[in-house]
Amino acid sequence: MADDLASQFADDLAGAVSAGEFDEQLNEFMSGTVVDTWRENSPEDSGSYKDSVAVIDEATAGKGRVGATVEYSNLVEFGSDRVPEYAPRAK
C-alpha cells in the first residue's frame, strides 16, 4: 500500500512538473536565488562578468537555464594555464 501511494505521488508530481505547474516558482528561484548567489561568488574586475549572469532560458516543463554570457566566461569558470579557476557557478 505505501509503495503504491509513493508511486502514485511520484507519477502525479512528475506530471505536474512536465505540465509546467512549477515553472513560475522555478523562474523566481533562478532569477533571484541562483543569479544573486552566482554574482556574489563571482570575481569583480570590470564587473562585466557579474553583470552578464542572467536567466538564459526561462523554465519550461520544470527546466530552465542560468548562465554568464560574456565571451570569456569559460575562463572565469574553468581557468587556463595563466588564469586561476574561480568557478562561481559551482559555488
Per-residue pLDDT tens digits for 11-70? 887 888 888 888 999 999 999 999 999 999 888 778 899 999 999 999 999 999 999 999
Question: In angstroms, what CA-CA distances link 36 with 22, 33, 66, 69, 89?
Answer: 20, 5, 11, 15, 11
What is the pLDDT at residue 91? Answer: 61
Could you identify the residue written with the cell 552578464? 52
Q: Where are the beta strands (DSSP E) in 32-89?
A: 53-60, 63-68
Question: Where residue 1 falls among pLDDT bands split at 50, 70, 90?
Answer: low
What is the pLDDT at residue 36? Answer: 95
What is the pLDDT at residue 30? Answer: 95
Question: Where residue 87 falls among pLDDT bands split at 50, 70, 90?
Answer: low
